[in-house]
């Protein structure tokens, strides 16, 4: 990797910091302060979160149809994303917040898919695909930054100033990326899949898509409400902000670590480990509410949720090397669809049972179901492939 390659990759990392770590997930550590000052319920918070994820669904789907001027479209999306963050701190109207979170979601989905496809294509053309995992470390870095900055900014400028401060930081990161990407020439992506890719899709994508969508539904409950849940446990309130920092710190190295493991072991085996660890992380606060159990839960969550994103997209990229944009867009769209439903269901469960534990049990169960779908789907596919190979072998022998 020369300096130019490192600069372009780092620019992609910074864009994921903006779109994912700040625009999307800074809502998690800011939420307790907003709820305390404004006074809205856990259920209302779920609607705000889902508005963002509806936008993310739209943006991820939209990105799959963008084949020209991807770089310019991406940078414009970042500008709009930054504005939506700043305006959250300036305008204090709930209906406007819903719109702003929707815009943040749309642009966030566009940024994630376009950045991923541009960087992965750039690295693949230069035989540097092994470095692609580092791109997703931007998610963890952004989460860690939001976890560190939010308590400091809120202490001086309240939650309104926190949104504005994070928006200014995002604008700075955009400026750095623009400078790093001056020499980046992004070619138009291909619109149609090759026939070999199309055949592979029929045997591969359905179960992985379903599993990834269920993962989006389950993980996002913890991803949205973790800090607020801990904040509302009196004995652990002082550790609520630290928990989000732990999530980010664990997520930063997780992407490259999981990518290295992907080179040594099968993707299904590594995903199995990641899913099991995530289920444990989600359910741990249900059975134990100590400082160490909560921090361990945060660590396991951070370690796995970015890892599952990295492993799934990298695995799909291996199977469809010429179609990174459409494949990532399709996977991210179903992932985003699951995220829309998750916060709404969680909010309803908390309202009905007056306890966050019901929401976490539901989340853990859904992630475990995602694992079962992946394993069963993979087993059925392998069995079908073996049957087809046996039939072809018999025909070959009979013809000879």
Residue 396 counted as domain residue: no
Which domain CATH number covers 243? Answer: 1.20.1250.20
What is the residue-level pLDDT of the chain in tens, covering all 400 positions?
A: 788 899 999 999 999 999 988 998 899 889 889 988 888 777 888 889 889 989 988 998 898 788 888 899 999 999 999 999 999 999 989 999 999 999 999 999 999 989 988 998 888 888 887 888 889 889 889 988 988 899 899 999 999 999 999 999 999 999 999 999 988 887 766 554 444 444 444 445 688 889 999 999 999 888 878 888 888 788 888 888 788 889 989 988 888 888 888 888 888 899 999 999 999 999 998 888 888 888 999 999 999 988 898 888 877 777 676 566 677 778 888 888 888 888 888 888 888 888 888 989 999 999 999 999 999 988 887 887 777 777 777 777 776 6
Measure the CA angle with vertex 315, ends 18 and 270; round to 5°. Answer: 95
- Quote the number of domains for the chain: 1
pLDDT of 396: 73
pLDDT of 188: 66
Full domain range(s) for residue 349: 3-187+194-391
Q: What is the pTM of this model?
A: 0.81
Under 8 Å CB-to-CB from 198, ≥6 apart: which residues? none
Residue 355 counted as domain residue: yes
Residues shown for the chain: 400
Residue 397 counted as domain residue: no
Token look-up 């390659």 returns 5
pLDDT of 198: 43
Residue 8 counted as domain residue: yes
The separation between the first and the last C-alpha atoms of the chain, rounded to the nearest angstrom, is 52
Residue 30 counted as domain residue: yes
Residue 322 counted as domain residue: yes
Q: Which two tokens stand for residue 207?
A: 């179960």
Alpha-carbon distances of 48 from 28, 41, 268, 345, rounded to whole Å:
11, 11, 34, 13
How far apart CA 101 and CA 51 sit, in angstroms, is: 6
How far apart CA 154 and CA 273 sit, in angstroms, is: 37
**Dihedral angle sign, alpha carbons of residues 97, 102, 104, 105:** positive
Residue 400 counted as domain residue: no
Residue 398 counted as domain residue: no
pLDDT of 290: 87
Alpha-carbon distances of 324 from 247, 254, 267, 332, 379, rounded to whole Å:
28, 21, 17, 12, 25
pLDDT of 240: 82
């Amino acid at each position: 990797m020369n300096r130019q390659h490192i600069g372009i990759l780092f620019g992609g990392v910074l864009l994921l910091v903006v779109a994912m770590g700040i625009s999307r997930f800074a809502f998690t550590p800011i939420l307790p302060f907003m709820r305390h000052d404004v006074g809205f319920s856990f259920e209302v918070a779920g609607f705000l979160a889902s508005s963002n994820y509806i936008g993310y669904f739209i943006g991820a789907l939209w990105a799959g149809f963008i084949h020209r001027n991807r770089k310019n479209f991406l940078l414009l999306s970042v500008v709009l994303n930054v504005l939506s963050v700043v305006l959250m701190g300036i305008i204090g109207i709930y209906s406007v917040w819903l719109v702003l979170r929707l815009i943040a979601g749309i642009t966030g989905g566009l940024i994630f898919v376009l950045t991923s496809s541009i960087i992965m294509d750039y690295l693949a053309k230069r035989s540097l695909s092994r470095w692609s995992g580092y791109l997703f470390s931007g998610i963890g870095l952004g989460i860690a930054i939001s976890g560190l900055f939010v308590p400091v900014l809120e202490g001086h400028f309240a939650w309104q100033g926190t949104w504005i401060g994070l928006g200014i930081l995002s604008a700075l990161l955009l400026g750095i990326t623009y400078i790093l990407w001056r020499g980046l020439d992004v070619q138009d992506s291909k619109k149609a899949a090759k026939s070999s890719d199309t055949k592979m899709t029929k045997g591969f994508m359905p179960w992985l898509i379903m599993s990834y969508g269920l993962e989006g539904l389950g993980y996002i409950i913890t991803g949205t409400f973790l800090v607020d849940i801990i904040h509302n446990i009196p004995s652990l309130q002082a550790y609520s902000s630290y928990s989000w920092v732990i999530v980010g710190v664990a997520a930063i190295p997780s992407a490259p670590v999981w990518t290295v493991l992907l080179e040594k072991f099968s993707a299904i085996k590594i995903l199995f480990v990641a899913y099991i660890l995530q289920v444990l992380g989600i359910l741990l606060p249900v059975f134990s509410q100590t400082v160490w159990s909560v921090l361990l839960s945060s660590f396991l969550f951070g370690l796995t949720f970015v890892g599952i994103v990295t492993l799934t997209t990298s695995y799909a990229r291996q199977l469809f090397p010429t179609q990174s944009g459409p494949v990532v867009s399709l996977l991210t769209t179903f992932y985003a669809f699951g995220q829309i439903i998750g916060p709404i269901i969680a909010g309803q469960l908390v309202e009905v049972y007056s306890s966050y534990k019901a929401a976490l049990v539901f989340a853990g169960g859904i992630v475990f179901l995602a694992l079962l779908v992946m394993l069963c789907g993979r087993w059925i596919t392998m069995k079908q492939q073996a049957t087809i190979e046996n039939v072809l072998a018999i025909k070959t022998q009979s013809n000879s």
